[in-house]
Copies of this chain bind each other. A is one copy, B any other.
Amino acid sequence: MTTPWPAIDGIAYGGDYNPDQWPRAVWDEDVALMRRAGVNLVSVGIFSWGKLEPSPGRFDFAWLDEILDLLHGNGIAVDLGTPTAAPPAWFFADHPDSRVITRDGTVMGFGSRGMVSHSSPAYRDAIVRVAGALAERYADHPAVVLWHIHNEYGTPVSEDYSRHSVTAWRSWLRARYGTLDQLNELWGTAVWGQTYHSWEHIGAPAAAPSVVNPTMRLDWARFTDHQLRECFSLERDAIRRHATQPVTTNFMANQHWGTDLWEWAKLVDVVADDHYLTAADREAHIGLAIAADLSRSVAGGKPWMLMEHSTSAVNWQPRNVAKRPGEMARNSLTHVARGADAVMFFQWRAARYGQEKFHSAMLPHAGVDSRVFREVVDLGATLQRIDAVRGSRVEAEVAVLCDFESFWAQDLEWRPSEDLDYRQQLRAYYERLWRDNVTVDFALPSHDLSRYRLVVIPSQYLLRADDAANLTRYVEAGGTLLVSYFSAVVDEYDAVHRGGFLAPLEPALGVWVEEFLPLREGDSMTVVTGDGASLAADMWAEDLVVTGADVVATYEDGPAAGKPAITRHRHGAGHAWYVSTRLDADALRQVMRRVYDDAGLAPAALPDGVEVVARRGAGETFTVAVNHTDQAVDLPFPGTDLVTGHDTGGSLRLAGGAVAVVRADDPDRSIPEH
């Protein structure tokens, strides 16, 4: 394995650690308790700019020296943060023009955390200075095994309408389009009289009397992400001038959608992700699985780091539901199951002060004699017992497309129905596969998909013509493709494809879309299959023009009554399905069963609520089983449960709420190389 993994012995375990918030006396207690819990890695300094550089260019490293030495002396490695997600008070005072301005003109000031303008020259100078100074000082510190740049790029703010941003935007557009003629053509500025005759006339897509040009807004999203990546790269390069440890930043997969993680993953040495449950979702662990699979996928299948999650409740949701006994371990092991070789938390010790004081921690306000801390100690021990999974890989036979650009484009104003929801569709298809214990990778339409039996497109509003050709070739070569509605509508400039909606995929699908038929709020429909089964659908229908596909199901009522609803097309050696409406969960189950057949997939029948993922090692397989129900189940997994150390005797008895990692020999198996 050539991954530049941080030099940690075992699965990384620990969390954000903010010693600068506590008196010196507490540090010793912290380190002692970390040892008790099995902590081997902590992230330090993420919000410490004001402490490290109390005035511009004057650094104070004494406290950081001391804590790094203390940690190292206790065998705890350090993921050293650059503090650039929270510029200090003096920065805001000295550079008021660097403050972020929102779309409606509100100036974002100090007093919270969060970025200044990603395009501010003063900010860019300052981050290079502070990251460089840190790297210079700690390049050779034995505690430091990883550099952690910034924090959750894109949150809590990303877009910036300040003048620094507008200046950078014009440069970015010039580089992208070359000439104004090209920009006018591809933005379609002839619509609504938006033609530009000077680069200087182009502003940010800020508040305007009506909806702003969507191509401009799509480019603005690309630009914003680009600027953040530039900031990251500036810091990374400043660090690399001095230091050799791997460099990362913490993503927010399936939570923050403003950063294109496929692009970001190219910039980091190791993918790291933060994940927090959506408390209102009673099956939030499905969203967690999406986040974990997405993290692994953007990492190219290589192990990744769970950089933050929570031991119990968070503090920023409307109702911050606490995790129940065992839930933290189930969450952690699910991340491991899906490729994480690190289990980290925000944060080590609960804060007494400030915005996050009600966020849970490894060491809660209640102290060591508490459910949470006991479970933290247990989890540390468990991770040590399952250490053998490190470096093994997850293999998937199914890919689900997940394209940030398409999401950005679809999410703009004035789409045919505001009920069109990319993330809801992603979840709906993923959830079906999850319930069937089918492990998936995420992918882009431009990827080589040939290793997958099935490719699912929950929604791909924006689809480039060459990507459509790639998908078509995938089917031709024998793949099974399922495309859901409102796909292949526009190209990369948000221009409608010639030939009608869905036209670029018509060769593969044997169908295209004459007209969109959104439903009124609350309306529903019935779709009937050829063998007479009734499927419930709602929200959306389409007027399909079948050019070669077989009609699998027909609209019984609603705006497309009597017309095709679901089609299947034999194309080359493969099959391509099209689903033109939003099916309910049961309907989707029935349809996917037939799609699995086409793909030659035979999902194992396991008890409901049990999640099973395999990691493949050299000559062995680790089957991670997570029981989300409160009933014990029996699972046909021979091998040794590393969590308990017991041989399953061929059938694993998994208690309600419990987790297992069953190691089984698999002599022919090598670690997959993606």
Contact = CB atoms under 8 A, between A and B. Distances in A.
A478 interface: no
A202 B90 CA distance: 10
A370 B193 CA distance: 29
Interface in A477-519: 490, 493-496, 498-501, 513-519
B190 A18 contact: yes
A92 interface: yes
A366 interface: yes
Contacts of A360: 515
A208 B105 CA distance: 13
Contact of A193 (B50, B282, B353): B50
Contacts of A190: 18, 20-21, 51, 353
Given A195-B54, A354-B213, A201 B92 contact: yes
A321 to B, nearest CB: 6
B188 A358 contact: no
Interface in A42-98: 47-51, 54-55, 83, 86-90, 92-93
B516 A358 contact: yes
Contact of A110 (B201, B493, B500): B201
A419 interface: yes
Given A193-B88, A352-B188, A355-B214, A320 B518 contact: yes
A434 B246 CA distance: 66
Contacts of A364: 514-515
Contacts of A87: 193
Contact of A416 (B100, B320, B418, B514): B320
Contacts of A266: none
Q: Which secondary structure dominates where chain A touches chain B? A: loop
Give the contact-size bracket for chain A: 35 or more
Contacts of A419: 319
Given A156-B209, A198-B93, A191 B351 contact: yes
Contacts of A280: 520-521
Interface stretch (A225-233, A237-245, A250-258, A309-317): A309-317
Given A93-B200, A107-B105, A194-B50, A212 B112 contact: yes
Interface string A9-51: 0000000001011000000000000000000000000011111
Contacts of A209: 100, 108, 112-115, 156-157
Nearest to A561: B324
Contacts of A2: none
B109 A319 contact: no
Given A207-B109, A416-B358, A515 B194 contact: no
- Copies of this protein chain in the complex: 3
A203 B501 contact: no
A446 interface: no
Contacts of A215: 353-354
A365 B192 contact: no
Contacts of A318: 417-418, 521
Given A111-B206, A358-B416, A201 B352 contact: no
A18 B194 CA distance: 13
A324 B195 CA distance: 36
B207 A108 contact: yes
A375 to B, nearest CB: 12
Contact of A111 (B102, B208, B418): B208
B416 A197 contact: no
A371 B514 contact: yes
Nearest to A353: B188
Contacts of A321: 517-520, 559
Interface string A319-332: 11110100000000
Contact of A319 (B107, B365, B518): B518
B203 A110 contact: yes
A207 B518 CA distance: 38
Contact of A216 (B93, B111, B282): B111
Contacts of A603: none
A280 B520 CA distance: 6
Interface in A327-384: 350-358, 360, 364-367, 370-372
A282 to B, nearest CB: 7
A324 B560 CA distance: 9
A352 to B, nearest CB: 5
Interface string A276-316: 00011010000000000000000000000000000011011
A415 interface: yes
Contacts of A315: 414, 416
Contact of A21 (B113, B191, B216, B350): B191
A256 to B, nearest CB: 13
Contacts of A156: 209-210
A233 B75 CA distance: 62
Interface in A550-593: 559
Contact of A356 (B100, B191, B208, B319): B191
Contact of A365 (B200, B211, B322, B500): B500
A207 B106 contact: yes
A21 B190 CA distance: 5
Contacts of A559: 321-322, 324
A191 B347 CA distance: 12
A205 interface: yes
22 contacts: A18-B191, A21-B190, A47-B191, A50-B193, A50-B195, A88-B195, A90-B198, A104-B106, A110-B201, A111-B203, A111-B216, A112-B210, A112-B212, A192-B356, A282-B520, A319-B518, A320-B417, A321-B520, A322-B515, A352-B496, A366-B513, A371-B543
Given A48-B193, A191-B351, A355-B414, 12 more contacts: A20-B190, A89-B202, A108-B207, A108-B208, A109-B206, A110-B203, A112-B194, A112-B210, A316-B414, A353-B496, A358-B414, A364-B514
The 3 closest A-B pairs by CB, nearest first: A188-B353, A114-B209, A191-B354
Interface of A: 18, 20-21, 47-51, 54-55, 83, 86-90, 92-93, 100, 102, 104-115, 156-157, 187-198, 200-216, 279-280, 282, 312-313, 315-316, 318-322, 324, 350-358, 360, 364-367, 370-372, 413-419, 490, 493-496, 498-501, 513-521, 543, 545, 559
